Amino acid sequence: MNAIRVNQKANDIETLQLELQGMPRPHAAAGQCIIEVASAGVNPSDVKATLGLMPHAVWPRTPGRDYAGLVVDGPSQLLGLQVWGSGGELGIRRDGTHGKFLRIDAASVRAKPASVSLLEAGAVGVPFITAYEGLRRAGMPQAGSTVLVCGGNGKVGQATIQIATALGARVFAVERTEQPYRGHASGAVRMIDASREPIAEVVREETGGHGADIVYNTVGSPYFEQANRSMAVGATQIFISTIEKPVPFDIFAFYRGQHTYVGVDTLALDSNACARILDQLAPLFASGKLRPFPVLPDYTYSLAQAKDAYRAVLQGATERVVLKP
């Protein structure tokens, strides 16, 4: 039994039926590779898609967007290569990575950095790709610029902080309560406790009134007003999620502040687009400026334990959850 199959939507995690099936090793057609998957991260979008919350999902399918593994079939120059990858179509619009084998276009195959283990590489994908794509569309942080990350201890938040500090930016990060920053960073991270500190006042006071040049709002509506008030003239705010869909919007402050809003949906980035982003991230991982998330034994699951892994993610696991097919 070497692949997870999901055949129908479920109302909740308890009624979700994940079938463990035996699937033959596929053969690579021209221009394709077969990856023997060594590790595959479990993302919130993977779980939501199995519950039927993604409108483009097909049935039946194997879930999973992120992977790392070994090329076992395909172009001769790629055979035996240890690779990593991700794709917005994987596990949603076609079979994904939560199985032993993955068929994928050779053009989207990328060697993982030697400094990142196969286990860790399978957990890099969605958080770092989401972080990079948002920052890219915001113009990328520069040395000396200020970045505010709402939800700094979430995985996308941590990836954003890693990239921003690696590029020399000053970083503020917000959490709902008082807590230290839990991830890697190349510089200091000023944590803001939203339960007792006014976010915008802290950012403006500690930047001499300037504010944040980039706001990466991974949470959405709860921080929307304070994030807007934190923005410097000409700043960009990035959104990837929200709790409440409609929010109060001050058009006057928006255009007077010359602000820009960016929405990022990585489900729209296919494996080729994600590979191009990994091309940009790989040198930073190789140099040690970026580090993969730790993959802890208590958060590593076999395919037979996939439902437990999905439940852990749905319940808000603070560590990266990984399947080992």
Please check whether residues 91 and 206 belong to one and the same domain: no
Is residue 135 domain-shared with residue 120, that is, in the same domain? no
Average pLDDT over residues 8-15: 92
Q: Based on the fold, state whether residues 15 and 117 are members of the same structural domain.
A: yes
Both structure tokens of 246? 């409609």
Q: For 190-240, what is each residue's pLDDT tens digit?
A: 999 999 999 999 999 999 999 999 999 999 999 999 999 999 999 999 999
pLDDT band at 56 (very low <50, low <70, confident <90, very high): confident
Q: Report the CATH number that the domain containing residue 33 is assigned in CATH.
A: 3.90.180.10
Residue-wise pLDDT tens digits, 60-104: 999 999 999 999 999 999 999 999 999 999 999 999 999 999 999
Is the domain of 209 the same as that of 241?
Answer: yes
C-alpha to C-alpha distance for 120 and 28, rounded to whole angstroms: 26
State the pLDDT at residue 10.
92
* Confidence tier at 256 by pLDDT (50, 70, 90): very high
For the stretch 257-272, pLDDT in tens is 999 999 999 999 999 9
**Domain-embedded: residue 285:** no
pLDDT at 1: 82
Q: Are strands 212-217 and 231-239 parallel, antiparallel or unpaired?
A: parallel
Whole-number Å distance between alpha carbons of 52 and 45: 10
**Model pLDDT, residue 98:** 98
Has residue 277 been placed in a domain? no
111 and 140 share a domain? no
Per-residue three-class SS string for the chain? CCEEEECCCCCCCCCCCEEEECCCCCCCCCCEEEEEEEEEECCHHHHHHHCCCCCCCCCCECCCCEEEEEEEECCHHHCCCEEEEECCCECCCECCCCECEEEEEHHHCEECCCCCCHHHHCCCHHHHHHHHHHHHHCCCCCCCCEEEEECCCCHHHHHHHHHHHHCCCEEEEEECCCCCCCCCCCCCEEEEECCCCCHHHHHHHHCCCCCEEEEEECCCHHHHHHHHHHEEEEEEEEECCCCCCCCCCCHHHHHHCCCEEEECCHHHCCHHHHHHHHHHHHHHHHHCCCCCCCCCHHHEEEHHHHHHHHHHHHCCCCCCCEEEC
Instruction: Quote the longest CA-to-CA distance of the chain.
Output: 62
Residue 209's pLDDT is 98
Domain that holds residue 19: 3-124+292-324
Say whether the peptide bond before residue 26 is cis (omega within 30 degrees of 0): no
Neighbours of 169 (CB within 10 A): 24
Residue 4 predicted with pLDDT over 90: yes
Domain assignment of residue 118, yes or no: yes
- Residue 113: inside a domain: yes
On whether both 56 and 75 belong to a single domain, the answer is yes
Q: Assess whether pLDDT exceeds 90 at residue 189.
A: yes
Q: What is the CATH number of the domain that holds 201?
A: 3.40.50.720
Determine, yes or no, domain membership for 271.
no
Task: Tell me: do 256 and 144 sit in the same domain.
Answer: yes
**Mean pLDDT across 240-260:** 96
Q: Is the pLDDT of residue 246 over 90?
A: yes
pLDDT at position 177, please? 96
For residue 95, give every residue at least 6 positions away whose Cβ sits within 8 Å of its Cβ, in sequence order, or none.
61, 62, 102, 103
Q: Does residue 139 sit in the same domain as residue 183?
A: yes
Res 284 pLDDT > 90: yes
Q: Do 241 and 159 have their domain in common?
A: yes
Rama region for 128: left / alpha / beta (φ>0; ψ in -120 to 50; rest)? alpha
Report if residue 287 sits inside a domain.
no
Say how far apart CA 175 and CA 141 lie, in whole Å.
21
Average pLDDT, the chain: 97
Same domain, yes or no: 92 and 78: yes
Q: What is the mean pLDDT of residues 282-306?
A: 98
If asked whether residues 119 and 137 sit together in one domain, one would say no
- Residue 274 falls inside a structural domain: no
Task: Give the total number of structural domains in the chain.
Answer: 2
Read off the pLDDT of each residue in 175-187 and give the average, rounded to a whole number: 97
Q: How confident is the model at residue 40 (pLDDT cuts 50, 70, 90)?
A: very high
Q: Are residues 73 and 153 in the same domain?
A: no
Tell whether the model's pLDDT for residue 55 goes beyond 90. no
Q: How many residues make up the chain in this entry?
A: 325
Is 247 part of any domain?
A: yes
pLDDT for 146: 98
The position carrying tokens 């919007």 is 249
CB of 68 closer than 8 Å to CB of 122: yes
> Could you give the CA distance from residue 201 to residue 322 in angstroms, rounded to a whole number?
39
